[in-house]
Amino acid sequence: MNDEKEVKHEEVKHGSFVRKKGMLVVISGFSGAGKGTLMKRLMEEYDNYSLSISATTRAPRPGEKDGVDYFFVSRERFLEMIQNDELLEYAKYVDNYYGTPRSYVEQEMKKGRDVILEIEIQGALKIRAKYPESVLIFITTPSAGELKKRLMHRGTESDEVIKKRLERASLEAVGVEAYDYIMINDNLDKTVKHLNYLIQDQHMRASQQLEFLEEFQKELRTVL
Ligand code: 5GP
């Protein structure tokens, strides 16, 4: 019964707008805020998103796969990608480079798919400057104490790296006002659902529906 209600709610809420353009959705968040798991769940539960895979010079963590979690590249290769304009944006984060390969993003947007970039704040601001219609969403834990706890529990980073990531979080906290939305990830199931609603609702923005409006206006003239 509950499931039926859920489906109907989604139809009402999201069945009545015209989808034409693929959108760029930037997801950022403090290291340890649960973005990785959130993205995994979003991709598993909804099939309307294309997740961009970044290139990085950082070493893979245990279990991470090349071409799945990241394209793990050498510093030389990364600099070459910058030179060849292969990256839509890039940034240095705690001693390593990270960047978004351009071709996949452009190709998926052309197909009308919403492309998700899971990137840090400097990159997010570059995307906003290049694509003013992109949506910027920041994910955080309910408190700074919880952030530290999650980073320590993860057990994949040394104490020194955890310290650097927390320092970085305190710098980034100042820039978060530039984002369109801030989501507190206190319950994964709930956050995944809200994130999907939030992204889908962006398609109702008038600026996302200019082609529809143009067609509507043309048709209006014919029925006058
Ligand atoms: P991690 O090392 O934990 O995988 O990622 C560190 C930070 O780099 C995270 O904040 C992540 O969002 C960011 N990041 C990952 N890929 C990119 C990218 O392509 N560009 C930018 N600017 N940041 C990225």
What are the DSSP calls for 42-100, one per residue? Answer: HHHH-SSEEEPPPEESSPPPTT--BTTTBEE--HHHHHHHHHTT-EEEEEEETTEEEEE
Ligand 1 pocket, CB under 6 A: 28, 31, 54, 58, 89-91, 93, 98-100, 118-120, 122-123
Q: Which domains does the chain have, with CATH numbers?
A: 2-48+113-223 (3.40.50.300), 53-111 (3.30.63.10)
Give me the amino acid identity at 106: E
pLDDT surpassing 60 at residue 153: yes
Predicted structure pTM score: 0.86
Tell me: the pLDDT tens digits for 179-191? 999 999 999 999 9
**Residue-wise pLDDT tens digits, 17-30:** 555 578 999 999 98
Tokens of 86: 């292969």
CA dist 194 and 197 (Å) reads 5
Length reported for the chain: 224
Q: Whose CA is nearest to atom 11 of ligand 1?
A: 119
Which candidate, 125, 119, 120, places its Cα nearest to that of 53?
119
